[in-house]
Amino acid sequence: MTNPKRTIALASLILAFIQIAANAQTVEKQLNGKASETELVELDRRIQEAMANGDVKTIEQYVGEDLVFVHGWFEGGTETKQKLLENAKKETRFYLYRKVSSQAIEMHGNVALVLGRLDVRRQPLAKNKETEQMCYALHYVHLFERRKNLWQFLSHRTAQMIEPSLPCSK
């Protein structure tokens, strides 16, 4: 015959262990979420720097094959991963400087939005016959998806021009 007090004590102990394990999983998920947010902030910065510095390896690794990169400052301004790679391989690159700031992360499981400010210095557009480097700033939205344990940059959208494209001050 079993002792009812002992059965109740054992059941209470089991429930306590289950609660501790559930709390530990919740804390782990929260910590991993923060780690993912920190990882995305850094990765977003690295990808933009890679575009300016011709870092083909970073672009190949972290930019998805199905990238859609829509510019807000010129018509027909949609690029693919292939176009980013071509530009990165050029000796004279189009982007000279791409600095992100004011980033905010919105997590949705394996998908995340990174919103922020991007300050850019670029080469002149030949079709506009500009003779000086141009600078501008914008608000952007970047879409990332975690694929095979690796965040992939899938989309860039200019949300708002903050400073229009003008010759850079010296």
Please check the confidence at residue 26 and state whether its pLDDT lies above 50.
no
Backbone torsions φ then ψ of 69, nearest 5 degrees:
-115, 105
Please check the confidence at residue 29 and state whether its pLDDT lies above 70.
no
Distance between CA atoms of residues 128 and 122, nearest Å: 13
Task: Enter the tokens of residue 44.
Answer: 């977003």
Comparing 1 with 49, which gets the higher pLDDT? Answer: 49
Strand (E) or helix (H) holding 20: helix 4-53
What is the 8-class DSSP label of residue 137? E
If you average pLDDT over residues 30-45, what whole number do you get?
78
Question: Which band of pLDDT confidence, cut at 50, 70 and 90, is reported for residue 155?
Answer: very high
Report the pLDDT value the prediction gives residue 28, as an integer from 0 to 100.
45
Distance between CA atoms of residues 142 and 94, nearest Å: 20
Please check the confidence at residue 32 and state whether its pLDDT lies above 60.
no
Distance between CA atoms of residues 121 and 25, nearest Å: 45
CATH code for the part of the protein at 4-167: 3.10.450.50
On whether the CB atoms of residues 132 and 167 are closer than 8 A, the answer is yes
Q: Where are the domains of the chain?
A: 4-167
Please check the confidence at residue 30 and state whether its pLDDT lies above 80.
no
